[in-house]
């Protein structure tokens, strides 16, 4: 029962932080969403900050599972097809959340900035990992002559990551998941070999 309550609290925190950010979510909101008693919350976590850090770790593990292992390491697909599959996954996630949630990590960077060292470390870890995953795919694409040889993989990976973050922002503003597809595919087409 204890572990199940812990996971219910984590799931609720991930959902609420993704929708509302860190500052607007209270422990009471988490308790209401998770349907867990306050004593159970404090049995597992000392503070709202502790649950938020644990939630970020859970979200990182999910990115590793879904994005890295599930999409970007899929050697059955070409590098370009993997990036296109990533776009489809991002759109599906956006639609599943009814446009309420962009990239929770991007949202938290905007909200928290450098106010909290523990948050900053987790957020940096996310962007460094995601960028390195993309960089690996781009390196493969260059080797296979699918992407332009003139690309610098790290810079191209960061450009794609920036495009994803910006496209999420616009998609939320417009309430149009097509914004994600158009903007990210535009950049993918730019990096492709002629």
Which pLDDT score is estimated for 67?
85
Longest Cα separation, the chain: 61
Which pLDDT score is estimated for 80?
93
Burial zone of 158 (CB within 10 Å; 0-12 exposed, 13-18 middle, 19+ buried): middle
Question: Contact 116/49 with Cβ under 8 angstroms?
Answer: yes
Regions of the chain short of the pLDDT cut 50: none
Which residues, in sequence order, are CB contacts of 142 under 8 Å at separation 6+? 148, 149, 151, 153
Fold of 53-191: Tetracycline Repressor; domain 2 (1.10.357)
In this structure, the chain runs to a length of 194
Which pLDDT score is estimated for 3?
80
Which pLDDT score is estimated for 71?
92
Asked whether the whole model's pTM tops 0.85, one would answer no
Which pLDDT score is estimated for 93?
80
């Amino acid at each position: 029962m204890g572990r199940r309550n812990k996971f219910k609290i984590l799931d609720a925190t991930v959902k609420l932080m993704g929708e509302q950010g860190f500052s607007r979510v209270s422990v009471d909101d988490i308790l209401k969403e998770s349907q867990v008693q306050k004593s159970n919350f404090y049995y597992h976590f000392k503070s709202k900050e502790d649950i938020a850090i644990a939630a970020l770790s859970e979200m990182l593990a999910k990115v590793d599972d879904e994005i890295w292992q599930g999409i970007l390491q899929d050697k059955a697909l070409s590098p370009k097809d993997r990036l296109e599959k990533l776009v489809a996954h991002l759109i599906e996630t956006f639609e599943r959340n009814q446009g309420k949630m962009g990239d929770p990590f991007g949202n938290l960077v905007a909200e928290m900035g450098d106010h909290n060292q523990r948050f900053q470390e987790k957020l940096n870890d996310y962007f460094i990992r995601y960028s390195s995953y993309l960089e690996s795919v781009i390196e493969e694409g260059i080797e296979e002559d699918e992407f332009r040889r003139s690309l610098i993989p790290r810079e191209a990976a960061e450009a794609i990551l920036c495009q994803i973050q910006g496209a999420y922002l616009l998609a939320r503003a417009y309430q149009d998941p097509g914004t994600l597809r158009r903007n990210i595919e535009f950049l993918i087409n730019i990096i492709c070999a002629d």
